[in-house]
Every structure is written in structure tokens, then in C-alpha cells.
Amino acid sequence: MSVSSGILIKWTKGFSIVDMVGRDVAACLQEALTRKGLDMRVAALVNDTVGTLAVGHYHDPDTVAAIIIGTGTNACYWERVDAIIKCQGLLMTSGRMVVNMEWGNFWSSHLPRTSYDIDLDAESPNPNDQGFEKMISGMYLGDIVRRVILKMSLESDMFGPISPKLSMPFIMRTPLMSAMHEDNSPDLREVARILNDIFEIPDIPLKARKFVVKVCDVVTRRAARLAAAGIVGILKKIGRDGSGGITGGRSRSDMKMRRTVVAIEGGLYSKYALFREYLREALNEILGEDIAKHVILKVTEDGSGIGAALLAASYSS
């Protein structure tokens, strides 16, 4: 509603505090600070992607977008005010505005959705919401892998007797999935250890371990490629994909591509080497090497926190 107020419309990522829906989150935080006797004022309500963009732009003026790829996923970008229908007629000093996309809730019939995605969504606390996020982010990838292993167990004897732990949602966390995916030992002993520790499946043959690594690879590669497609969508919208923008009308050949920085934050991207590799590979594939070399993906550490502080400081002054 303003720089320091906003109404909670709905929860995501498994949160479900019913009493908060429809209330001003900043006002509630302010009341809590006051109750604790803290002399603090909430100066700005900032989405984490917007904070990441703020700190990215502070350090590098060529930053045009920010992406969160961690437990959840979201994106924001810097848009011309004349391209925002809601803002037409408003006087803006900069001529630009940050758009928080909430892309985790993006949905399209073109998304490569499987039976595992449909089942995960149906059994989640927020069915029919955050469809894109459920195919990309760290909260969900491990559970997609669990669902595939469960089906393989039900339809073959590859894993021996079916473990009850395989039916427990979210027991397979994404960091464990990445550890299996990146296991370089000849006998995949880390894969065997994790499957034994988490699912209580002992003595897994090497062939089955290789299958599990392949499943992790397919799920991770799909997630990274979808995230890359989302980034290219933003670059296309603002004319940074070498095409001159959706309404530019110029061909790629007569465009001079500008240096374009995308700030990225979140453990899934920063700590998962194969995810980063697949995302970059997809960017190069979609944009072409000549254009993609001008697109720099910059990891930010606590960018959302520092960015929020920068915005609060700039508003307070």
C-alpha cells in the first residue's frame, strides 16, 4: 500500500497462519517491536527479490533483474514506467519502476508437468498455487526425486522390499539430493549412505544407485532450464535478449548487445554446481553464444537483507 505497508493476500511455502491473512504485515511487525520495548521503526517493506536487485544495482549499475533460487523462487526486474499500464499518467522522477513478478506462481500449459508434479501439488498445503516454484525450487526438488524412487520401488524389485519411509513427504531434502547427484565415487557410496540413512533401504546394488543419480540429474536439469527460460523471458521483455524488446522491431543482427547483469541469490543456485552449470548451458542455448556472453549472472550473498537496509536507509533519509 506504501513503501512501508502491505496486506498479506495468501501464504506460500507451507506457511498457514490464518489470522495474518488480510492484515498489514509491516504494522504487525511494528506492534511486535513496540511490545518488546524496542525503539525501532519499520521504514520499508521489501520483497527479497527487490532487495537483491537493490544491492545488485548499488554495486553494478548494469543490473537489470534479480532472481531468488533457494527454498522458493521469485524474480523482479527494472521496467520503464510507460510500459506499465497501471502507471500511465503518473509522474515518476526516474521513469523506471521495479516489478516484483512473483514468478513462482507462473503457470502455463506449456510447462512440462508430470504425474509426480501433479501429485506433489495436490498433496501440498497450497494446491493449484506456485506451480512454477514447485518445479524449480529447493523446497520441492528432493520430494520429486522421492516420488520417482517410490514409483520405481512399487513397479520393480530394484530397491528390494518397499520402505515405509519412501511414502513420507519431504523426507528427502534437496541438499541430500544434490549430494547424491554430485557423488563422484566409483561405487556411489554417498548415494548408498543417504538412501540407507533417509529411506532405510540397505545394500542397494550399484545399478540402482546409478538410476537414482540419473533421476536427480533429470529433475535438477529440468529445474535449471525452466529457471533459465524465465530469465530469458525477462530479458526479452526489456530488450536485453538481442532482439530489441518485444515491440522493438529490429533484428538481432543490427542490435548492439549491452552488458546485462542478473543478480541471483539462494542456496539452490549458489551451492549446487550442477544446477548452475545447467542454467548457464540453457541460457547459452536459448540466446545463442554471441548474445549470452553479454549476460552476467552474479551471485549475491545476503543481498536481500543488505538491499532492504539500503532501501530503508534511502527512504529514511
Round the CA-based radius of gyration of the chain to a whole number and report it.
22
- Tell me the CA end-to-end span of the chain in Å, nearest whole number: 20
Extents of the domains making up the chain: 1-45, 47-307
Averaged pLDDT of the chain: 92
DSSP single-letter state for residue 67: E
- What is the pLDDT, as a whole number, of residue 244? 63
Pull the grid cell for residue 291: 548474445
**CA distances to 11, 105, 118, 123, 133 from 129, in Å:** 10, 6, 12, 12, 9
pLDDT tens sequence across 39-65? 999 999 999 999 999 999 999 999 999
pLDDT tens sequence across 145-175? 999 999 999 999 999 999 999 999 999 999 9
Could you give the 3-state DSSP secondary structure of residue 77? strand
Pull the grid cell for residue 160: 528390494
pLDDT tens sequence across 10-40? 887 678 889 999 999 999 999 999 999 999 9
What percent of the chain has pLDDT above 70?
Answer: 96
Q: d(Cα 306, Cα 46) in Å, to the nearest integer? A: 11
pLDDT tens sequence across 211-242? 999 999 999 999 999 999 999 999 999 999 98
Q: Taking a C-beta distance cutoff of 8 angstroms, is the pair 262, 63 a contact?
A: yes
| Domain range 47-307, its CATH number among 3.30.430.20, 3.30.1330.40, 3.40.50.300, 3.40.367.20 | 3.40.367.20
pLDDT tens sequence across 175-203? 999 999 999 999 999 999 999 999 999 99
What type of residue sits at position 279? L
- Residue 95's pLDDT band (cuts 50, 70, 90): confident
- What is the pLDDT, as a whole number, of residue 301? 86
Residues 6+ apart with CB under 8 A from 186: none
